[in-house]
Structure 1
Amino acid sequence: MADTTVTKGHFKVCGREFPAVKWWALPNLRSTYCLLFFVVLTSATNGYDGSMVNGLLSLEQFDKYMNHPSGSIKGLFSGIMFLGSLLALPPTPYIADNLGRRWGICIGSTIMILAVVLQSASVNFQMFIAARFFLGFGVAIAHGCAPLLITELCHPQHRAIFTTIYNTTWYIGSIIAAWLTFGTNNIDSQWSWRIPSIIQALPSILQISCVWFVPESPRWYISKGRPEQALKVLAYVHAEGNPDDEVVQLEYEEIKETLAIEKEAEQTGWLELFKTKGNRHRLLILMSAGLFSQWSGNGLVSYYISGVLDGIGITDPDTQLVINGVLNIWNAIVATTMCFFVDKIGRRPLFLFSTAGMMIVFVVWTICSERYNATLVHANGNAVVAMIFLYYTCYNTAWSGLLVGYTVEILPYSIRAKGMCYMFACVDIALFFNTYVNPIALEKIGWKYYIVYCVWLAAELVFVFFFYIETRNTPLEEIAKHFDGDAALVGGAAATEKGRILEHDIHEKEHKEAVSEVREEHVGL
């Protein structure tokens, strides 16, 4: 929204410098950020699901009830959810843009609750799989709206950190599910897996109950011809209710100017990302980020840690669940910590370090797995566990938080909702492929499957090096210049000038039409 940079003790809006804001000292901003926690729950819900499925596959009761599913059926348990998400993506931008960000979250959460009811009542794996399809459908809608509301509502000073934190909360849900399934493992009945499934509805229930207390996006209000409501929200959240605050006025004017430019340019369709060199560059980053975030070997552990641990001689369900639970806690610590270094270190260095680190660690991981299979020495198996923790340390340096944080900021407002759908589509395609193929590959060829990821990670590193652009300390609207050059539709002072030109052109057109009408009247006389 606002043309913003952050420096030590200050932040800039539209070229003007202002003292840094302490959000905890301002009641309205503090309450808004606390309420945004319920928006962030969308990502946590996604994380809960991934870890829950991981845990259920380690439960003997679930395995027995589902009649000992094969690798392909296990793949469907997780993969069908991502197919549902993929099919929900096309309508998501229209829900977000026409009904509002909050309604999108509410609709997605309602679908998820109904799907959880069906999942928890499942009597066979067909019913369970059908429920997970609808669960994915609801997640996609909520996931496509939540980051937009956060981005467009946060104070300019805090936007980069908040958007990066959003995706890292995946691990909060993951931690809860991991330890919950560990606890229910001791229940010698169907409730050992039905209880975690039922509790999956809790975040969605909280979202439906609380999201209406979160203000709607000011930009959405303006797009719907309600500028007074937009100014009221900006004043409440960013200036303790003062509509005459300078920051609020700068933001308000910039939003109106940016929307006017976008409307004049008419660059809002699905194909806009293919039409210009800058947008094609954006599309490459969006699609690669979606694929790389899931096709980097992390899917092996995120959804099938039981198969990985079985391959190194760790077969006890309790031990597997403990490793899964501790790993998720570690992931949450690393991912959240790195959010606060995004502006200090930069996006590109973090992506390069993360990808290079994953590649090196995965090679060692593969060697240790081969050595265990050749020697059955437990020390080699334990080394694999250590490599898993080290691998995720590298992964969480960039790919967990910046998956959303980086892709959101490189997109102009006019195509932000649709652009994010391209990225999420690639995530779902990668997850559907991975969750279906990984258990089959692990079952058939074991550790040799890791070699594929070693080669792929090397290709990822080359791609990131050549295509990922540094955006650190660049105002949000000015980021467009990295992709579009002089043709960038930027906000702030540039948008103000373009707004004046647009206004002048409109008045000149109206003047010519009026003169033409007068002449026609004279001719008629």
Structure 2
Amino acid sequence: MGGDSSTLSLLSRKHEILLFSSTAIALYGYDQGMMSLINTNHSYLRTMQISPESPLIGIIVSVYYLGCAVGSVIASWLADRKGRRLSIFICLAITVLGNIFMFTSGMSPSGTSPWNDGALGCMLTGRIILGLGVGGIDAVVPIYSSELSSDESRGRALAQEFQMNIFGLVMAYSINLGVTISLGKDSQWAWRIPIVIMQIFPILLMSVTSQLPETPRWFISKDRKDDARKALESIHGKEIADLKLEELEKAQEEESDKNVGYKDMLFPGGSHFHPTVVTVMGQVNQALTGYGAVSVYGPQILELLGFGVRQAELLTLANYISYFLMMTFAWLSIDIFGRRKLMVWGAAGLTICFGMLTLFGGLASSVSGIPKLAVEIPGTIALFVATATFGIGWLATVWLIPTEIYPSMARAQGGAISVIVWGLANFSVTLLAPIGFNNLKFWLFLVFAATNAFAGWWTWTYTPESGGRSFEENQEFFESAKKDNSWVVKDVDGGKFVAMPHKENDEGDGERSPLLRRRT
């Protein structure tokens, strides 16, 4: 398939890659939706031999993120040495293995576990292995997608992929709720079926991985010029493959004498310490928005507002469906307003929403005589708005920025650092969230309001706008920051990186020219 001839098939090469990347990213969302109702299944709790208030519930959920952190390092190392595509394939195979461990944990015909503590150990092992695979996917897929997208549409492509992340969440929660209603919370199959259905994603993706191209940028970095040309021809056709090849070779020559290691990225004074701080704080601030806890413990939040268990579960499904639909505004706006503006306004909106949830949660819990609907309706609206605000402002942006601010030879390491911090931050949040709900109740929302305010301030002060610029242009911000002796965005290069640039109709050099240009 080459050039325009790809339009004769059902999907163009660009859309094949987008569909593949989106389905891979959906694995993370599926896990969130899957665990939110498994945590309250009576058979599951008996099998794991834990109580509904046990901190082990949070530990089982959160160890997954530790696996993600380790998996991202391994996958990024493999992606640099053996290619993005092979790394993704291996990560998918690992998710299959982790899922099998989870599905078989404590399995018995009667549903009463004869495994004793072995069931919990098997589940924890499965969660960690699953995290290894999904963490690797989350590290490599955004890089794979970004290296095959144009400067002006990188945000749109990744936001569309993360909309599929929410589709995975909706799918998992819908299946989980359906089998729970049909089989009841005392059935072991009400929690095992959603787990095993997850296998559809990695098995399907593994079956088509060999049909997708490796990124020509990776081939060039390994001095495999002929393979790079073949990859370019499969995407663009022979007519312009040589032109694209020359541009990639020029970019590689400019970067070939600038080897970057983790030491240069993680220690003050390192050549890429500044972009690493931007990457790290992006993921820390995303965790501080609190939405990782909201997505996993959604039904419990609605119960705090006064809803019954089944009402809370159904409203959580409605919230996730709204989440999926509202993500459309994320990919429509991210390349128009930019990453920075969406994050700042998103943090402000979440601060207000969590403040309102504190108020309504307090009224529901502490004040008698107030009509239930007077609390439940505005509280539910605040939760729905918070969900949409997070999706538009924070879901895709913090994953996109690391793929844009590092040079080619550091992009995989930057993606790994991003996933490591994401894993550790979400490990902490999801571990502490059930403890917070049990002890702080509605006051936990006030904590999230404060952390969102901090996230918005930090982003406005220190996060540059990386959208609409080539990879090389984004390097200029960090070079200028050194010259100006300031990391404050408005003070660097006259505030050039506060907002999206005004694009000119030139092609430029280096990595400005896209491998997959959007056709309008």
Range into which the TM-score falls when normalised by the shorter chain: 0.7 to 0.9
Is residue 16 of structure 2 the alignment partner of residue 34 of structure 1?
Answer: yes
1:277/1:484 contact within 8 Å kept = no
- Please list every run of 5 or more consecutive structure 2 residues that lacks an aligned counterpart in the other structure: 107-118, 484-506, 512-520
Distance 2:228 2:31 in 1: 35
Q: How does 1:235-274 map to 2 (within 5 A)?
A: 235-237=233-235, 239=236, 241-242=237-238, 244-245=239-240, 248-272=241-265, 274=267
| Partners of 2:16 and 2:127 in 1: CA distance | 30
For 1:98-177, list aligned pairs within 5 A: 98-123=81-106, 124-154=119-149, 158-177=153-172
Does the 8 Å contact 2:25/2:161 carry over to 1?
yes
Q: TM-score, normalised by structure 1?
A: 0.83
Matches for 1:15-414 after TM superposition, within 5 Å = 25=7, 30-67=12-49, 68-123=51-106, 124-154=119-149, 158-185=153-180, 186-188=182-184, 189-237=187-235, 239=236, 241-242=237-238, 244-245=239-240, 248-272=241-265, 274=267, 279-316=272-309, 318-375=310-367, 377=370, 378=372, 379-414=374-409
SS at match of 1:215: coil
Q: 1:375 to 1:487 in 2, by over 3 A?
A: closer
Given the two structures, how large is their TM-score scaled by the length of structure 2?
A: 0.84
Q: Summarize the Cα distance change of 1:22–1:70 in structure 2 as closer, same or farther, 3 Å threshold.
A: farther
SS in 2 for 1:427: helix
Moved more, 269-278 or 135-144: 269-278
Q: What is the rounded CA distance, in whole Å, between the counterparts of 1:371 and 1:340 in structure 2?
A: 37
Identity %: 23
Please say if residues 24 and 141 of structure 2, whose CA atoms lie closer than 8 Å, have aligned partners that are also in contact: yes
Which stretch shifts more, 199-208 or 265-274?
265-274
Does residue 417 (structure 1) correspond to residue 426 (structure 2)? The answer is no
Q: Secondary structure at the match of 1:340?
A: helix
After superposition, the Cα gap between the structure-2 partners of 1:472 and 1:36, relative to the gap in structure 1 and judged at 3 Å, is closer
Contact 1:115 1:134 in 2 (8 A): yes
Change (3 A) 1:180 1:417: same
* 1:349–1:155 Cα change, 3 Å: closer
Work out the number of aligned pairs and report it.
468
The one-letter code of the counterpart of 2:92 is S
* Distance in structure 2 (CA, Å) of the matches to 1:392 and 1:261: 43
Shift of 1:227: 0.8
Comparing 212-221 and 59-68, the one that deviates more? 59-68
Report which stretch shifted further, 319-328 or 114-123.
319-328
Residues 35 and 210, structure 1, Cα contact 8 Å, conserved in 2: no
Separation in structure 2 between the aligned mates of residue 350 and residue 278 of structure 1, nearest angstrom: 28
Unaligned runs of 5+ in 1: 1-20, 497-525
1:17 matched residue in structure 2? none
**Distance change in 2, residues 1:486/1:231 (3 Å):** farther
Kindly name which structure, 1 or 2, has the bigger radius of gyration based on alpha carbons: 1
23 and 151 in structure 1: CA distance in 2 versus 1, 3 angstrom threshold: farther
In structure 1, what is the Cα distance between the partners aligned to 2:347 and 2:200?
Answer: 35
SS at match of 2:445: helix
Distance 2:474 2:398 in 1: 17
> How far did 1:29 drift?
7.3
Question: In structure 2, do the counterparts of structure 1 residues 182 and 480 end up closer, same or farther at CA, with 3 Å as the change threshold?
Answer: same
How many angstroms does 1:58 deviate by?
3.5
Report how far residue 26 of structure 1 moved: 6.8
Instruction: Say if 1:290 and 1:425, in contact at 8 Å, map to a contact too.
Output: no
**RMSD over aligned Cα, in angstroms?**
2.6
Counterpart residue type for residue 172 of structure 2: A
